[in-house]
Structure 1
Amino acid sequence: MFETTQEQKDKYLNKMRGIRTNVTEMAPKINSILVAYGAEFYRKTKGEYTDSYFSQIREKAEEDIRITARDKFTEVIDSLNQEKENYNDQCFEKKTTTDPTELNFVGKELELMDREELKEFFELNFLDKNMVRLFDIEIKRRSKSNDTMAQSEVAMLQAYKNEFAINDIVIQKYEQCIKEMIGARSVSSSTIFFPEYDEYDKMSARSVTIAELFNFIHAKSAWGIPNKADVNILGLVK
């Protein structure tokens, strides 16, 4: 019933693919953090810093890496959510029924509907702000019932509404990509993920742990201040 053109689908899928590649923009920033830390590590090996002072330098570098990763994933997630909303707004016609007589009539009809009829009503009217409001009012009315079965139906209808999504491949791919980015962000306190996708938008998870990053820069800095050109964390990702 709600169908977009192939041109619209391709446009927004290409936007999604462009946005998710922005994750790699965190790599140069993390490289710079590691190079600066490596210089301090070298000075530590020369006896210029106490262990206590250097531990603070290490802690700050680790936190800077975590913040860089979290911020980048958040930026990508926000952009994906925004484009998904743009797709909804531009490709699916939204409306708002304002005729009070019609709204009053529909409200009375909802009181007589069973669970399956209410679900069908929501599916047909989920793009209409006032119709959805009537649906919510009816759910709230039924929630006040003392009938156990009615309470059970209310819970199922509310769950149905919360989980409802347009059966559209573009929205499905956006939601899957957003879910993957949220997952990658959630572990960024210890592991930095660089999601990669094939031609079918299937993700492969390539990553490097923060511990591995510091082992790498320690080795680079053991005998001298590291050269910026020699530090690229993408080469460590596996």
Structure 2
Amino acid sequence: MSPAVPARPASDRLRHKTVSAAVADSIRQRILNGELPPGVQLRQDALAEEFGISRIPVREALLQLEASNLVKIMPHRGAVVSGLSLEELEDIFQLRCQLEPQLLALSAPHLTKADLQDLHALSREYSRALEAGEVQRWGELNSRFHLDLLRHAGRPRALTIVSGLLQDCDRPTRIQLSTPSDIARAELEHTQILDLCEARKVDAAAELLRVHIEHVGGSLIAIYRGALAVA
């Protein structure tokens, strides 16, 4: 009977997990700020050399990123930074245009004074991040704003779908917010939506939210089509 292989100490396993999480976080930030655009291949050996570690925690980091839909692990190519096709982008914004205004119409009448104060504070934080060029925070703050607006809709399944759609269009939306005019419009429309909710003009708030999403989607689709034409 062969001797049992000794288990790796718990401290080693924890250190290993910590290293892979740190690598995943570093790569995640590069993807989210556009340094690693969609389609770029992430070679395990090159990353291991860059970080000065073995390939095992790099592979685990890439699996974590795949679970977050930031990376696709493909046969014969390995890990590739994921992206959206034009058709996927159109689908995402069509779904958001359908779902979010309906959910806001259900949620807005139940937004409390405290909810609205929190939303105004979040909107100001979003504006500061836009003005400061803190790109990595734009998607997070925008998603929080939209989801907090809809929090009282009483439709948990629909909210889960919207949350996934917002995550999917996080990176593309940063592209759309690359011009001062689009930044100014995003800030203004967020404030106007809140003002309408506060005034209990629910239908008007829902319609402005639809227009807001439609404009972002239209701008992004135009950017994607322009990029395809150049390619």
Give the TM interval when normalised to the shorter protein: under 0.3
**CA radius of gyration, larger in:** 1
Greater relative contact order, per chain length (Cα 8 Å cut-off, separation 6+): 1
TM (norm. structure 2) is 0.25
